[in-house]
Amino acid sequence: MSNDRDTWTSNLVDDDAGLAQILRTARTVAVLGAKVVRSAPAYYVPAYLESRGYKIHPVNPTLMGHVVFGEQIVGALADLEAPVDVIDVFRRPEYLPGHAREILALPWRPKAVWFQLGIRNDEAAALLARAGIRVVQDRCMMPEHRRLLGAA
């Protein structure tokens, strides 16, 4: 049984090589909890990522129809027109198990789910990791990108 645990826990990414691999190979990022207010982390982090070449797909049911990063905000991950490489989560930890189930119900799988700085839920992370999805918890994509791949 420990072998099974070792298999899925390898999808819990907290090392520089694993983080860099996600950042290097991802091209598309769905931002769950995206904002339109420029001072909000759920706006300026994806804005940074977009400036570094990532295609951003904003998701927020309370802002459906608004346009940000050249994309119309959709209400749910299931409303995305195409699969994405990474789902970047800006939601409180208590919502993460529900979002994990939402992600697992999609007809496609992201390569990674990234819980932003200050966001951690081990139950949700385990659900996703057991399904073969790489999970990053409690880290911000912007400073990790700057640190590991450089500002350019």
* Confidence (pLDDT) at 88: 98
Instruction: Report the CATH number that the domain containing residue 144 is assigned in CATH.
Output: 3.40.50.720
Number of domains in the chain: 1
The total of other beta-carbon atoms located within 10 Å of residue 134's CB is 20
* Confidence (pLDDT) at 1: 39
Residue 107: phi and psi, rounded to 5, are -75, 0
* Confidence (pLDDT) at 6: 63
Token code pair at residue 108:
């496609």
| Per-residue pLDDT band at 150 (split at 50, 70, 90) | confident
Helix (H, G, I), strand (E, B) or coil at 98: helix
> In whole angstroms, what is the distance from residue 107 CA to residue 143 CA?
31
**For a pLDDT cut of 70, what percent of the chain falls above it?**
95
> What is the pLDDT averaged over residues 73-89?
97
* Confidence (pLDDT) at 135: 98
15-57 residue pLDDT tens: 999 999 999 999 999 999 999 999 999 999 999 999 999 999 9
* Confidence (pLDDT) at 145: 96
Bridge pairing between strands 86-89 and 112-115 = parallel
> In whole angstroms, what is the distance from residue 60 CA to residue 39 CA?
17
* Confidence (pLDDT) at 5: 53
Given a cut of 50, is residue 2 above it in pLDDT? no
The rounded radius of gyration (Å) of the Cα atoms in the chain is 15
110-141 residue pLDDT tens: 999 999 999 999 999 999 999 999 999 999 99
Averaged pLDDT of the chain: 94
Question: Domain range spanning residue 19?
Answer: 2-149
